[in-house]
Structure 1
Amino acid sequence: MPTPEYPMARESGCPFAPAPTVRTMTREEPAGKVRIWDGSEPWFITRHADQRALLNDPRISIDEHRDGYPHMTRGRAESAPHIPPMITNTDPPEHTRLRRTVNGPFMVKRVEALRPRIQQVIDSLVDDLLAGPNPADLVQAVGLPVPTLVITQILGVPYEDHAFFQTNSSKTISHESTPQEAREAGQALGQYLGALLGQKMKDPAEDVLSEMGARVAAGEMGYEEAVHMATAILIAGHETSASMISLGTLALLQNPDQLALLRDRSDDPKFVANAVEELLRYLTIVHTGIRRIANADIELHGVTIKDGDGIVFDLSGANWDETEFPGADRLDLTRPARQHHAFGYGVHQCLGQSLARVELQVAYSTLYRRIPTLALAVPFEEVPFAMEGVAYGLTSLPVTWSA
């Protein structure tokens, strides 16, 4: 069949599912190719077992400075030569060193210590939601504020600046931004965070920027390196969780039996934790794949991925792979789903996954318990999906409830 364009459009009648071509290739062409924005044709890997093997293979590199790397957007391709070594573009052992510099605040124990604060944030937002107009937009009322409030506290960024960095974060990663728009947005974020980092070096607090400032002062980390790292954390720390809170709510409203199950067992931490894993698998909001380049020839399913070939790993394909998740098109909160790839896999697995899990566990266990009559305020077909970023989500989610 002709080489499909990527990313692929989802079917409007089934927006939670991967594009039909992704599922077809998972079954029939596990080592095929796709065409991306620049006309290049990287390999396309969708099966769960293949991703597990390759994303841990030292012959696969994340070095975006190499010719042939399948960049996500033109803006990213143009900015890549100017981006210093980061956890998002280096391989071990450099990646190991860099990750160690920012890993501490995102370790499970420190994230768990934030759970009471996250509970307070969500309870306060639900209080405001219930006291405000009905219907309301859940994206603006809860979805965006929760992860933004949390990541700004962890990073040490004033929450009152959230409109500035949310706007510029979106422009930086959007497929609809021109290279100049993406570059200007990235520069604005860099200048903002660079100024904050300078302040933290003079007057440190208990936050990630202060920790990085201390490493810069000690010569363990470059100033520019710290600014780029802070930018990456800020962008990743609010966009994906914001999408998951609202999108997960919509998926549950479309599956009332599963919503009832979660509501009834919202006081069971183990059940809630597993429900979050299944929602992460089912939705797989990173819908533009994760990108790599081969460092050596690799044989796979009768073909040869050559040294220098680009590779796109479509995470939704793996998470809807029937071999690993039978009945993958069914949302089943009782399914053991922890083996999903929603956070990627291997050494570059998402730094903030523990934080995202706690945020979602608290959000899902609180929202439907406190608002048991939560319902869509518009027909499902009228809910506006946002597909232009790295993660797909909702522009808004109009909801209503009875007193």
Structure 2
Amino acid sequence: MSHVPSQDTPVTLPTQRSVGCPFDPPTGLGELRSRAPLTRMTYPDGHLGWLATGHGTVRAILADPRFSSRYELMHYPFPGGPEGPLPPAPVGDMTGMDAPEHTRYRRLLMGRFTVRRMRRLTERVREITAERLDEMERLGPGVDLVEVFARPVPALLICELLGVPYADRERFQGHADTIMAMDVSPEDRYAAMVGLQEYMAELVGAQRTAPTDDLLGDLARGSDLTDEELVGVGGFLLAAGLDTTANMIAHGTFALLSNPAQARALRTDPDLAPQAVEELLRFLTVAHTSVRTALEDVELDGRLIRAGESVTLSFEAANRDPARFADPDALDLRRAATGHLAFGHGIHQCLGQQLARVELTVALPALLGRFPTLRLAVPAEQVPLRTDMNIYGVHRLPVTWDQD
């Protein structure tokens, strides 16, 4: 029987996942949550803060303006990360901002990411998905699903949406991957951010000269953003649009192939797709962790969080909280998974969530429908997991199928 510390014994953030359980949160998170939704935590830099694992607790912190998202106020929760204080958020990176600065950017972009507009993109998502499935079929059995399908579908769409040439993906994909890595050196992360900004600066310069009919052109033509802000916002949206949905497509496929009854349910009932996507978002929670810092003393769950203390929010633990979801460790595509925190909550809730939903709702059923015999080409334990990244998933997903 494993030892569970008392409420007052500081813990370190559990990051090790059990062998053979690629879809479950790191071992120990569930044990901590069952003990208390809010636990004292020692950070790698020695800071004594908190770890929130309960659904209600994480949700309450996300909605509370007394907790800040500013990078320079937070302590990094993962070992091997940057040493010393974090730098402030780069211009345009809304994730690391508080109101009113965050509010200005959010209002500017919200009208361009409406549910109606994202749903109007459905037909284009279908076309891109079909094109990639045609390419899979042309290549024949034995491909890496990440490379031929999971990455290209959202990449093509975010590039079209923003006005970024997809042919330039080798220039920006590597930078985006480096920025998302948990254990990269501050120097390498900074270099990647500079590289992405330099690329975006070229595009912004072209848009200022001759705006095109896309999001960057729209912002260049119809907003008060400076060139620096437009570069920052463009880079932020590009990086966010590339990584999260790609990992949901790949990891979602891995989960479905590992749960044949669930895959069969989605294959035979495509109308189940919207509900299935919500359950996969909850079950997998690829954007697994965030941090907030108390701006003043806050009492929560009978505990006093003092001003300046950081709180690590475990979305993956919250989305497996039995107090919110019955039998939470089971993948059940017919579950009503509303209220999950895969997209966060509050003012920082994911701006592109409706676009992600459209992509997943189209891509996953289409993939299963086109390749009814789709299966892993290697044993499940040989699939390389992204345990080193801020967005969880798989680095590669070798798949095969029977040809007619």
The whole-number CA distance in structure 2 between the counterparts of 1:81 and 1:301 is 30
The whole-number CA distance in structure 2 between the counterparts of 1:379 and 1:247 is 15
The whole-number CA distance in structure 2 between the counterparts of 1:275 and 1:133 is 28
How do 1:20-39 residues align onto structure 2 when only pairs under 5 Å count?
Answer: 20-39=27-46
Does 2:234 align with 1:230?
yes
The whole-number CA distance in structure 2 between the counterparts of 1:243 and 1:102 is 24
- CA deviation string 1:66-93 (max 9, x = no partner): 3x55476845976623723642222233
SS class of match (1:195): helix
CA spacing shift, 1:155–1:35, aligned 2, 3 Å? farther
Query: Which amino acid counterpart does residue 53 of structure 1 have in structure 2?
Result: A
Aligned partner of 1:51 among 18, 43, 58: 58
Whether the aligned pair in 2 keeps the contact of 1:42 and 1:70 (CA below 8 Å) is: no
Residue in 2 that maps onto 1:242: 246
Query: Which amino acid counterpart does residue 173 of structure 2 have in structure 1?
Result: Q
Residue in 2 that maps onto 1:252: 256
Residue in 2 that maps onto 1:119: 126
Whether the aligned pair in 2 keeps the contact of 1:79 and 1:183 (CA below 8 Å) is: no
Query: Which amino acid counterpart does residue 35 of structure 1 have in structure 2?
Result: T
| CA deviation after TM superposition for structure 1 residue 379, in Å | 1.0
The whole-number CA distance in structure 2 between the counterparts of 1:352 and 1:35 is 33
SS class of match (1:386): coil
Residue in 1 that maps onto 2:273: 272
How do 1:3-402 residues align onto structure 2 when only pairs under 5 Å count?
Answer: 3-6=10-13, 8-66=15-73, 68-70=74-76, 74-75=81-82, 80-81=87-88, 83-84=90-91, 86-215=93-222, 220-266=224-270, 268=271, 271-287=272-288, 289-402=289-402
Whether the aligned pair in 2 keeps the contact of 1:282 and 1:331 (CA below 8 Å) is: yes
Query: Which amino acid counterpart does residue 285 of structure 2 have in structure 1?
Result: T
The whole-number CA distance in structure 2 between the counterparts of 1:232 and 1:35 is 30
Whether the aligned pair in 1 keeps the contact of 2:154 and 2:241 (CA below 8 Å) is: yes
The whole-number CA distance in structure 1 between the counterparts of 2:336 and 2:160 is 32
| CA deviation after TM superposition for structure 1 residue 166, in Å | 1.0
The whole-number CA distance in structure 2 between the counterparts of 1:212 and 1:196 is 12
Gaps of 5+ in 2: none
CA spacing shift, 1:82–1:273, aligned 2, 3 Å? closer
| CA deviation after TM superposition for structure 1 residue 190, in Å | 0.3
- CA deviation string 1:232-286 (max 9, x = no partner): 11111010111111111110111111100000001x1xx2101000000000011
**More displaced stretch, 235-244 vs 4-13:** 4-13
Whether the aligned pair in 2 keeps the contact of 1:102 and 1:208 (CA below 8 Å) is: no
The whole-number CA distance in structure 2 between the counterparts of 1:33 and 1:370 is 49
- Backbone CA RMSD of aligned residues: 1.8
The whole-number CA distance in structure 1 between the counterparts of 2:58 and 2:44 is 23
| CA deviation after TM superposition for structure 1 residue 206, in Å | 1.6
- CA deviation string 1:301-322 (max 9, x = no partner): 2220011111111101110000
Query: Which amino acid counterpart does residue 345 of structure 2 have in structure 1?
Result: Y
Whether the aligned pair in 1 keeps the contact of 2:179 and 2:189 (CA below 8 Å) is: yes
CA spacing shift, 1:173–1:129, aligned 2, 3 Å? same
The whole-number CA distance in structure 2 between the counterparts of 1:280 and 1:69 is 27
The whole-number CA distance in structure 2 between the counterparts of 1:166 and 1:182 is 13
- CA deviation string 1:181-240 (max 9, x = no partner): 11111101001101111111111112221122225xx6x223222211111111110101
The whole-number CA distance in structure 1 between the counterparts of 2:77 and 2:228 is 22
Whether the aligned pair in 1 keeps the contact of 2:252 and 2:280 (CA below 8 Å) is: yes
Query: Which amino acid counterpart does residue 277 of structure 1 have in structure 2?
Result: E
TM-score by length of 2: 0.93
SS class of match (1:4): coil
Whether the aligned pair in 1 keeps the contact of 2:62 and 2:346 (CA below 8 Å) is: yes
The whole-number CA distance in structure 2 between the counterparts of 1:100 and 1:182 is 28
Gaps of 5+ in 1: none
**More displaced stretch, 332-341 vs 133-142:** 133-142
The whole-number CA distance in structure 2 between the counterparts of 1:76 and 1:355 is 35
